Structure 1
């Protein structure tokens, strides 16, 4: 089908159902054991893009791993999916991306799974809140939105690579959730990256823009660091009304920007955005994760279910910036990753 801004995640998943189930014909006429696709999605609470992503993938994938820091929310997500799909194979993983110790604990659990991992979707984002510092001393939005996911991705890379070695010819993927708003900001500030800088919050959305720029750069660099054995993509899901803008503690910022009304609902009178449904918002993620044609474009940025590299701001498409960000993040973590 022709993908567009109106395409839903369900439509994309149905299009690539054979890829998601593993019966994908990736190996031409060769007779090989069937793939049993395993997908891990971070940030899967109800009324979020991650939940919709999990919901449509659970119809086809052999196993979908859902993550979150709140046990009750994880249970609600699993129950909602199984109410619709009783046969869905769901596994819960506690993961607090704001804590390096918690990330390491969760990664160790994933690495102990008997199955390889085929796709990692870094969907979770740091909530737009007043200035805060993580337990490890990082600016909390960057810690949750990028540093934690970066560490998690690298620590479970052996599981991703296992899917490649267990099925010769398969290329595992990592999808990073970014945003078109990355281009509004000035990119990653390498001088203050990850450091607690309350002055940045004079423009409350600036740290968010920086996180989204970092996501694009990481997707570009991942394939280079792994020499193509894992490919990364970044996606702009679009503007969607989710649990982020509806939370009372976040609503004030979106109201001040005129994005939502006093009830946290989309301000359609503003006319600046084309608001998407949850299904339309998750569509681009699903395509990045499973469209086989994208393997020819590692590191690509997708928006409205299309490759949209031309929409990436220069500060977030520069390969030197991608390398620099990776190196700086390793330095902050005190750990180098080799594949």
Structure 2
């Protein structure tokens, strides 16, 4: 017998969550970014594909997208799936992808901003933005706002479209957002590969809250912590060294579970909270909520990331970078 959502927790898998929420997923058109094999985005798309009307997988690498599509089709032959090339590190590329999606005939019920910039030494994008913040915040911010009409078109008297930001509890390792370096990256302030990652995840939490507020009930946004997960990306040498320094991995690069505050999840467990955030109807009463272990964990948001003044500042600073404003 499948558990109800009230019984979901740390070990709930995306498969289990999707099975319970199948009736909520049915008929929905869903877009998931960052769906390479071996990651939680792929696992999210895979389980949703069993019930959704349309699943759009988005990423910058055409070969990886094809591998993901093939794997999903192999398991769910009748799936209605579509690929979208989306390079979140390039604002021009984001605009091209948004235009393509806006030309689709279908509305979009759920957007899952799952993709993240790789943890790596300091680097700027073609738009002269710090790459992790560009890929994890500025690009998704632009894409979300540009395709808002598609989301709003899915609204009905009984359904409010959703935007999901896969954030992280790592946002609690930051104490503020450095608005000065958002538009003008400063390598001297790049403390480690985790510094911009933590800030980016804080930006995700702030954006979910602020987007919900500005949308005024027209759409609901949520952020979440998927958990500490050993994906393919963790095998990158820069990431390995950083995670060893934080005590997440031992000297051999293997996950450490001795610290109860940092327990590792499997990829299926890591994708479960995303599925809940995207489809659990009980969350409709709490737009802007932050989830962890498939439950509302808004009380655990770091103070700076729950500050509405910071949310407004971040929104306006990001709009300034983009040179346009967004209204609902």
- Confirm or deny a common fold (TM above 0.5): yes
Distance 2:58 2:238 in 1: 23
- Pick which of 44-53 and 257-266 moved more: 257-266
On the 8 A contact 1:142/1:194 being kept in 2, the answer is: no
**Cα separation, 1, equivalents of 2:120 and 2:52:** 35
Instruction: Give the structure 2 partner of residue 56 of structure 1.
Output: 47
CA shift, 1:80, in A, is 0.9
8 A Cα contact 2:98 2:147, kept in partner: yes
Give 1:94's aligned residue.
85
Q: How large is the RMSD of aligned CA atoms in angstroms?
A: 1.4
Equivalence map 1:88-127=2 (5 Å): 88-127=79-118
Length, aligned pairs only: 323
Partner of 1:292: 281
- Aligned-pair distance for 1:206? 1.3
Check if 1:4 corresponds to 2:13: no
Residue 321 of structure 2 is aligned to residue 335 of structure 1: no
| CA displacement at 1:172 relative to structure 2 | 0.2
Match of 1:161 among 134, 142, 152: 152
Q: Say which of 61, 65, 69 aligns to 2:56.
A: 65
Query: Displacement of 1:70 after TM fit?
Result: 0.6
CA distance in 2, matches of 1:243, 1:285: 19
Within the alignment, does 1:283 sit opposite 2:288 as a pair?
no
Q: 1:250 aligns with which of 234, 239, 244?
A: 239
Secondary structure at 1:234's aligned position in 2? strand
Q: How many Å separate the matches in 2 of 1:268 and 1:298?
A: 33
Deviation, 1:86, is 1.1
The CA distance in 2 between the partners of 1:44 and 1:195, in whole Å, is 30
How far 1:279 moved relative to its partner?
Answer: 1.0
2:21 matched to which residue of 1?
Answer: 16
User: TM-score normalised to the size of structure 1?
Assistant: 0.92
Secondary structure at the counterpart of residue 134 of structure 1? coil
Query: Match of 1:173?
Result: 162
Q: Deviations over 1:198-246 (max 9, x none)?
A: 1222233111110000000000011121111011000000101012212
Q: Is the CA contact (8 Å cut-off) linking 1:143 and 1:194 kept in structure 2?
A: no
**Which of 126, 140, 157 is matched with 1:149 structurally?**
140
The 1-side partners of 2:305 and 2:173 are apart by 11
1:323 to 283, 300, 312: 312
For 2:253 and 2:72, the matched residues in 1 are separated by: 26
Equivalent-residue separation in structure 1 for 2:41 and 2:256 (angstroms): 23
Match of 2:210 among 221, 236, 251: 221
Any unmatched runs of 5+ in structure 1?
A: 22-35
- Note the C-alpha offset of 1:249: 4.6
The answer to whether the 8 Å contact 1:174/1:233 transfers is yes
Deviates more, 1:198-207 or 1:153-162: 198-207
Confirm or deny: 8 A CA contact 1:200 1:207 kept in the other structure: no
SS in 1 for 2:35: coil
Is the contact made by 2:121 and 2:192 (CA closer than 8 Å) also made in structure 1? no
Distance 1:40 1:132 in 2: 28
- Specify the alignment match of 2:190 in structure 1: 201
Q: Deviations over 1:78-137 (max 9, x none)?
A: 111111111111100000000000000000000000000000000001111000001001
Query: What do the CA deviations read for 1:162-198 (whole angstroms, capped 9, x no partner)?
Result: 101xx33320000001111111112211232242111
Question: How far off is 1:16 after superposition?
Answer: 0.9
SS at match of 1:64: strand
Match of 1:83 in 2: 74
Query: Is contact 1:187–1:209 with CA below 8 Å preserved after alignment?
Result: no
Gaps of 5+ in 2: none
For residues 96 and 266 of structure 1, what CA distance do their matches in structure 2 show? 30
